[in-house]
Amino acid sequence: MIEAPDLSLAALTPLISLFGAACIGVLIEAFAPRESRHPAQVAVALVGTVGGLVSTLVLAGTRDGNDVTAGGALAVDGAGLFLQATIAGLGALSILLFAERALDPARSSFVAAAAVPAGSPRDRELLTADRVQTEVYPLATFAIGGMMLFVAANDLLIMFVALEVLSLPLYLISGLARRRRLLSQEAAVKYFLLGAFASAFFLYGLALVYGATGSVRLSTIQESVATAGGDTLMVLGLALLIVGLMFKASVAPFHTWTPDVYQGAPTPVTAFMAACTKVAAFGAILRLLYVGFGTDEWTWRPLVYGIAIVSMVVGAVLGLTQTDLKRMLAYSSIAHAGFLLTGVLGFDAAGESPGLSATLFYLLVYGLTTLGAFAVLTMVRDGDGEATHLSQWAGLAQRSPVVAAVMTLFLLALAGIPLTSGFTGKFAVFRAAIDDGAWPLAVVALLASAVAAFFYLRVVVLMYFSEPVAGGPTVGVPGLPTTIVLAVTAAATLVLGVVPGSVLDLAGQAANLVG
Amino acid sequence: MDTVPADGLLSASWLLIALPLAGAAVLLLGGRRTDRWGHLLGTATVAAAFVVALACTLQLDERQVAVDLFTFIDSGSLDVRAGLLFDPLSAVFALLITGVGALIHVYSIGYMAHDPRRRRFFAYLNLFVAAMLLLVLGDNYVALYVGWEGVGLASYLLIAFWHERPAAATAAKKAFIMNRVGDVGLALAIFVMFAQLGTVTYEGVFGSVGLLAGGTVTAIGLLLLLGACGKSGQFPLQAWLPDAMEGPTPVSALIHAATMVTAGVYLIARSAPIYDLTETARTVVLCVGAVTLMIGAIAGCAYDDIKKVLAYSTVSQIGYMFLAVGLGPVGYAAAIAHLLTHGFFKAGLFLGAGSVMHAMDDQVDMRRFGGLAKKLPVTFVTFGLGYLALIGFPFLSGYWTKDAIIEAALDRGGVSGWVLGGVAVLGAGLTAFYMTRLMLMTFFGKARWAPSAPGRPTPHPHESPSVMTAPMVLLSIGSVAAGFLLVQAFPLVEWLAPVFGEPEEAEHVVAPALVGIAVTAVMALGVLAAWLFVGRREVPVVAPERVSVVTRAARKALYADAINESLFMRPGQWLTRALVWVDNRGVDGAVNGMAAALGGSSARLGRAQTGFVRTYALGMLGGAVLVAGALLAVTAG
């Protein structure tokens, strides 16, 4: 007789909220009439994500101490809850971006019927149809649920399952753009192939670690690492696990998919990936490195050190020559992954962990800012959809001063200019790295920030100091969803830059992982 | 004397500053709507401030009153409270500023009647009055500094009031920049006080300055002096003041003669407890005063521009005041007395000059005046009384106050006493010479009137309207009577005793009566010389070229501008050129080179982004191999 593991339903509420909403979404898709699907799906997805956020916050407020549940497969700890709340919140904002129907004359960013071949007469007919492939909402909700599971997984097997749960819907919704469908489908296929490749690395690493330690539970792995030290099998396994996770976090040299997929995917999906996937992947990286291999710090430390440098340099340098804003933000995301790794390195297994809290804070502010920046991209359009080429943004401030100002705020935050949240985040992770003796890394990070600042500020200069081009793009009047997203992200970017104290304190209190 | 908290009317002394400040705010923010009545409001606020100042002064029986306003800066150990100090010294300044200020406001109503930007002019004048009152009423050095910068700003704005004239714009910049040099000195002095004493209030600083090392006190004294020199146009920072005459004439009268330029004297007199402790700094003050008084007097003899002659006269007279404050306790009251009488007669002289310019189509070249006494009778009489007061004609204002300074200098005794006294007496003679020359060239002799510009009619001089002449008449009464009132009838020395201490009975080296006779004799010689050189002969309309070396030097104001240019401006320009070169070649080169290198490597790296999944997968595989290899290497190593 197999004993059922103890399940704390309270600890599972956030996940149940998300996966439940996703399942309801599938049912709606099957049974609701087509006209009413879109509002119903949006409502269910929002209820699910907001419910996930609220239940996570309630759980964080009521729990006493760190715990594990589901037979030790799931961690209920400060960092996990912080990241889950971040993902749920950013996820809810992303759903709002998905739901925007006022900006595009074609009524949505998402295709009307994905099965219709791109470019066919039927496809052209459907371009301006009211129909939307509403499966994106349950798919996105599943992905958000997977991400929340990913950051709480205390077990490599659960981690792998979560990885797949979050990845597969992402591959799909990347290919659902209403305009430039071939580009979008190409991006989806690329993402799928490379994602599968990366998953295989992760799975093989899992197998090797299991072979070396006889367990997939992170706490057991930690014990065996502490006693046995690193044997070749286990180290190889760790290497492959790191590769798999770094791929998801779009860290160089595993970043190559990022620009193509970010550019091809529908912009709300790009925003979702840039914000939420990054948080989820770093949550898993933190858990793997701090919990599973925390006692073996000196094995992975030099490696992560090097990867951080490579990622910062590649992201910053390659960003310089980009002429497409979505690709530019993709390289920015790669550089930011490197900055985040400097925070990961500010690791102190002894207890007080400035690196952990700094990384948590950075993930939150970066997610909000990048989501806002992509939201602005959805608003600047010409006849063909979004106008993402740099030259089209010339003189935007004359045409639309508010949008230009908001975008400037986000770009300054991404560049890490003081009085924006980006500065506070960068300051926190660099200080953590310096406190931990990794000052050369901080120097490289500062130089990379300086280089990266060029391409952010170039957009600002272009918007404010260039004459508008004739026949340039127009700035659409956003509907309520996008307005909410912009208001929340812009306010957060500013507030967390000017008075970050309380949120920094919160991240500091949350900075603990169950052993 | 202890300071007591203000009560009754005195606690409302903040109104002194608030009234003109509110006037300036209304005029500046109100825009064109206030054009019609703006000048009247501006004048009314200053007149009201004068009434408040008068009432406060009459109430001042405790003689030293503090008014707490609010906390200005409270940061760590720096605690700057905005408080006012109404004591006899600030009282006389407040009266001078608001009294002369109100008269000049009235005069300006007529003088600026045809200027389209008259409202703005009154706004700036009000701003000036407010800042100047803050300067003299603040109870700490930071408030003084705020006022100091405020009057500097107002002065800059007013010199450049006709900024469409390049000369005015340049003069304003010159004044601003030379004042900056002085302001740095004042700021540093305040920093040193705070660093050493932890306080910037007068009470705190004067209470504990005695505990400081002598060198530090001397440093504070010299830095304060630098600030004073900048604001008061003293050597070596005197060159901006004559150029500042490019501003409208009421500005020259109020700011650059009667009030702002005397702020340096106020600063040193206010800081008397500091200077009492440092003989060295006091000696430097003395020397600055003596040198400036000669420079101003010599340059004044050579200029043909009526306002510049008066400006150099101001430089020279303030030199007298510096000389007096440099003498220490015996001189402070004398300096303030001369400052007050000078405020009256010099303001009156400038207003008179403005009236002459008004009549002569805004010309300032005295060689084109002549014979104006009959045409401008009121101007002639009032100007003449101011002239007599300035040269020290017996029993007029200047006679009393200048004699007091000369006496105090002689009483110093020893060689230095004789030298300083001699310089002061010689200065009095030169003053008589250049002022008589001015009178003769302007009001006497044949009319040499000429059109101000080709195509303009030859001016037909006429007396100014009464709104302009009335202030001149009032000021000329002050020029006549103020000296006697302040020295003999109601001695200022006793009024100021709470600030500077009871006057000691000095031992006179030379009997006062003898000094009076000697100074009067030298003055008469100056007048006579002026008549011999200027009055007897025909005045050439164009200044003669073949003149002596001394005249040539005097015409160049003893080469002050040339010295400034060659010592500071040229090296400064060379330095900026060198820095620009380094910036262009070195810094920009490095930056551009790096940018090019980064851009190049970006393009090269970008080639790896082929768009093919196979390439990407290969890249990932390579990365994975590297990661695994690195981890194995670390473990093995």
* Per-residue pLDDT tens digits for A93-110: 999 999 998 888 888 889
Is A454 within 8 Å of B628 when comparing Cβ atoms? no
Number of H helices, E strands in chain B: 27, 3
**A254 chain-B contacts, CB cut-off 8 A:** 620, 623
- In the β-sheet with A385-386, what is the strand arrangement from edge to edge? A385-386, A380-382, A474-475
**A450 chain-B contacts, CB cut-off 8 A:** none
Is B620 within 8 Å of A320 when comparing Cβ atoms? no
Is the predicted pLDDT of residue B507 greater than 80, yes or no?
no
Strands B4-5 and B65-75: parallel
To the nearest whole Å, the CA of B596 is away from the closest chain A CA by 11
Is the predicted pLDDT of residue B57 greater than 80, yes or no?
yes
Express each pLDDT in B202-233 by its tens digit: 888 888 888 888 889 999 999 999 999 999 98
Asked if residue B231 lies in contact with residue B261, where contact means CB atoms within 8 angstroms, the answer is: yes
Is A193 within 8 Å of B609 when comparing Cβ atoms? no
**B620 chain-A contacts, CB cut-off 8 A:** 194, 197-198, 243, 247, 253-254, 256
Q: How far apart are CA A221 and CA A385, in angstroms?
A: 50
Q: What is the mean pLDDT of chain A?
A: 91
> What confidence score (pLDDT) does residue B73 get?
60
Residues in Cβ contact with A279 at an 8 Å cutoff, skipping those fewer than 6 apart: A83, A86, A87, A90, A147, A151, A363, A364, A367
> What confidence score (pLDDT) does residue A9 get?
86
Is the predicted pLDDT of residue B607 greater than 70, yes or no?
yes
| Burial bucket for residue A65 (CB in 10 Å: 0-12, 13-18, 19+) | exposed
Going by pLDDT thresholds of 50, 70 and 90, the confidence category of residue B455 is: confident
Is the predicted pLDDT of residue B31 greater than 90, yes or no?
no
Rounded to the nearest 5 degrees, what angle is found at the Cα of A203, between the Cα atoms of A199 and A207? 170
**A240 chain-B contacts, CB cut-off 8 A:** 624, 628
**B626 chain-A contacts, CB cut-off 8 A:** 253
Give the pTM.
0.66
To the nearest whole Å, the CA of A231 is away from the closest chain B CA by 8
Asked if residue B157 lies in contact with residue B140, where contact means CB atoms within 8 angstroms, the answer is: no
Is B632 within 8 Å of A232 when comparing Cβ atoms? yes
B96 against A226, higher pLDDT: B96
Is B601 within 8 Å of A232 when comparing Cβ atoms? no
**B630 chain-A contacts, CB cut-off 8 A:** 239, 302-303, 306
> What confidence score (pLDDT) does residue A97 get?
95
Name the strand (E) or helix (H) holding B44: helix B38-59
> What confidence score (pLDDT) does residue B456 get?
81
The SS3 of residue B432 is helix
Q: Give A239-252 as a DSSP string.
A: HHHHHHHHHHTT-T
Is A193 within 8 Å of B619 when comparing Cβ atoms? no
* Percent of chain B whose pLDDT exceeds 70: 95
To the nearest whole Å, the CA of A131 is away from the closest chain B CA by 32
Is any Cβ of chain A less than 8 angstroms from the Cβ of B620? Answer: yes
Residues in Cβ contact with B624 at an 8 Å cutoff, skipping those fewer than 6 apart: A201, A239, A240, A243
Is the predicted pLDDT of residue B477 greater than 80, yes or no?
yes
Is the predicted pLDDT of residue B465 greater than 90, yes or no?
no
Q: How far apart are CA B208 and CA B476, in angstroms?
A: 44
Q: How far apart are CA B351 and CA B548, in angstroms?
A: 33
Tokens coding B163: 């900024």
Is the predicted pLDDT of residue B532 greater than 60, yes or no?
yes
Is B631 within 8 Å of A243 when comparing Cβ atoms? no
From the list A190, A257, A303, which residue is nearest B630 (CB)? A303
CB atoms closer than 10 angstroms to residue A480: 11
Q: Give B556-606 as a DSSP string.
A: TGGGHHHHHIIIIIHHHHHHHHHHHHIIIIIIHHHHHHHHHHHHHHHHHHH
For residue B97, the one-letter residue type is: I
Is the predicted pLDDT of residue A349 greater than 80, yes or no?
no
To the nearest whole Å, the CA of B588 is away from the closest chain A CA by 15
Nearest CA-CA partner of B42 in B261, B250, B252: B250
Express each pLDDT in A395-435 by its tens digit: 899 889 999 999 999 999 999 999 999 999 999 999 888 88
> What confidence score (pLDDT) does residue A351 get?
56
Residues in Cβ contact with B245 at an 8 Å cutoff, skipping those fewer than 6 apart: B171, B252, B256, B305, B307, B308, B310, B311
For chain A, the residues whose C-beta falls within 8 A of a C-beta of chain B are 189-190, 193-194, 197-198, 201, 230, 232, 235-236, 238-240, 242-243, 247, 253-254, 256-257, 259-260, 298-300, 302-303, 306-307, 314, 317-321, 451, 454
Is the predicted pLDDT of residue B74 greater than 70, yes or no?
no
**A250 chain-B contacts, CB cut-off 8 A:** none
How many residues are listed for chain A in this entry? 515
Is B632 within 8 Å of A240 when comparing Cβ atoms? no
To the nearest whole Å, the CA of A233 is away from the closest chain B CA by 10
DSSP tag of A512:
-
> What confidence score (pLDDT) does residue B9 get?
73
Is B620 within 8 Å of A194 when comparing Cβ atoms? yes
Is any Cβ of chain A less than 8 angstroms from the Cβ of B611? Answer: yes
To the nearest whole Å, the CA of B70 is away from the closest chain A CA by 28
Q: Give A66-127 as a DSSP string.
A: -EEETTTTEEE-HHHHHHHHHHHHHHHHHHHHHT--SSSTTS-SB-S-TTSPTTSHHHHHHT
Express each pLDDT in B89-134 by its tens digit: 888 999 999 999 999 999 999 888 888 888 899 999 999 999 999 9
Asked if residue B274 lies in contact with residue B131, where contact means CB atoms within 8 angstroms, the answer is: no
**A236 chain-B contacts, CB cut-off 8 A:** 628, 631-632
Q: How far apart are CA A32 and CA B585, in angstroms?
A: 71
Is the predicted pLDDT of residue B536 greater than 80, yes or no?
no
Pure H helices in A216-353: 218-228, 232-248, 257-264, 267-272, 278-286, 297-319, 325-345
Is any Cβ of chain A less than 8 angstroms from the Cβ of B597? Answer: no
* Helical axes A34-62 vs A136-152, angle rounded to 10°: 20
Best of A285, A303, A309 to mutate (most B CBs within 10 Å, chain B): A303
Task: Using the Cα atoms of residue B122, residue B125, residue B131 and residue B135 in order, give the sign of their dihedral.
Answer: negative
Asked if residue B401 lies in contact with residue B334, where contact means CB atoms within 8 angstroms, the answer is: yes
Asked if residue B148 lies in contact with residue B183, where contact means CB atoms within 8 angstroms, the answer is: yes
Rounded to the nearest 5 degrees, what angle is found at the Cα of B396, between the Cα atoms of B390 and B398? 35
Q: How far apart are CA A150 and CA A287, in angstroms?
A: 10
Q: Give B187-217 as a DSSP string.
A: HHHHHHHHHHHS--BHHHHHHHGGGS-HHHH
Is any Cβ of chain A less than 8 angstroms from the Cβ of B549? Answer: no
* Percent of chain A whose pLDDT exceeds 90: 67
* Rounded CA Rg of chain B: 30
> What confidence score (pLDDT) does residue B190 get?
93
Is A253 within 8 Å of B623 when comparing Cβ atoms? yes
Tokens coding B382: 């009032």
> What confidence score (pLDDT) does residue A105 get?
82
From the list A189, A242, A318, which residue is nearest B627 (CB)? A242
Is B605 within 8 Å of A314 when comparing Cβ atoms? yes
Task: Using the Cα atoms of residue A61, residue A63, residue A65 and residue A67 in order, give the sign of their dihedral.
Answer: negative
Q: What is the mean pLDDT of chain B?
A: 86
CA distances from B95 to A327, B55, B58, B62, B314 (A): 71, 10, 11, 18, 20
Asked if residue A93 lies in contact with residue A488, where contact means CB atoms within 8 angstroms, the answer is: yes
Is A317 within 8 Å of B602 when comparing Cβ atoms? yes
Q: Give A454-503 as a DSSP string.
A: HHHHHHHHHHHHSPPPTT--EE----HHHHHHHHHHHHHHHHHHHS-HHH
For residue B499, the one-letter residue type is: V
Q: How far apart are CA B404 and CA B398, in angstroms?
A: 10
* Percent of chain B whose pLDDT exceeds 90: 31
Express each pLDDT in B140-198 by its tens digit: 898 899 999 999 999 999 998 988 888 898 899 888 988 888 999 999 999 999 888 88
Is any Cβ of chain A less than 8 angstroms from the Cβ of B599? Answer: yes
Most confident listed range (A83-87, B359-363, B401-405): A83-87
Is A239 within 8 Å of B609 when comparing Cβ atoms? no
Asked if residue A191 lies in contact with residue A210, where contact means CB atoms within 8 angstroms, the answer is: no
Is A317 within 8 Å of B601 when comparing Cβ atoms? yes
Q: How far apart are CA A36 and CA A21, in angstroms?
A: 17
* Percent of chain A whose pLDDT exceeds 70: 98
Going by pLDDT thresholds of 50, 70 and 90, the confidence category of residue B63 is: low
Is the predicted pLDDT of residue A230 greater than 70, yes or no?
no
DSSP tag of A64:
-
From the list B616, B622, B631, which residue is nearest A300 (CB)? B631
Is A317 within 8 Å of B598 when comparing Cβ atoms? yes
Asked if residue A376 lies in contact with residue A413, where contact means CB atoms within 8 angstroms, the answer is: no
Is the predicted pLDDT of residue B72 greater than 80, yes or no?
no
> What confidence score (pLDDT) does residue B329 get?
82
**A314 chain-B contacts, CB cut-off 8 A:** 605
Is A260 within 8 Å of B615 when comparing Cβ atoms? no
**B628 chain-A contacts, CB cut-off 8 A:** 236, 239-240
Q: How far apart are CA B470 and CA B481, in angstroms?
A: 17
Best of A246, A320, A332, A449 to mutate (most B CBs within 10 Å, chain B): A320
Tokens coding B206: 């004067």
> What confidence score (pLDDT) does residue A295 get?
79
B198: left (phi over 0), alpha (psi -120 to 50) or beta: left
Is any Cβ of chain A less than 8 angstroms from the Cβ of B632? Answer: yes
**B601 chain-A contacts, CB cut-off 8 A:** 317
Per mean pLDDT, which range of A164-173, A383-392, A456-465 is the poorest?
A383-392
Which residue has 């960013």 as its token pair? A109
Best of B602, B607, B626 to mutate (most A CBs within 10 Å, chain A): B602
- Segment B579-600 shows an average pLDDT of 86
Chain B residue with CA closest to A311: the answer is B623
Q: How far apart are CA A137 and CA A45, in angstroms?
A: 6
What CA dihedral angle connects B482, B484, B486 and B488, to 10 degrees?
-170
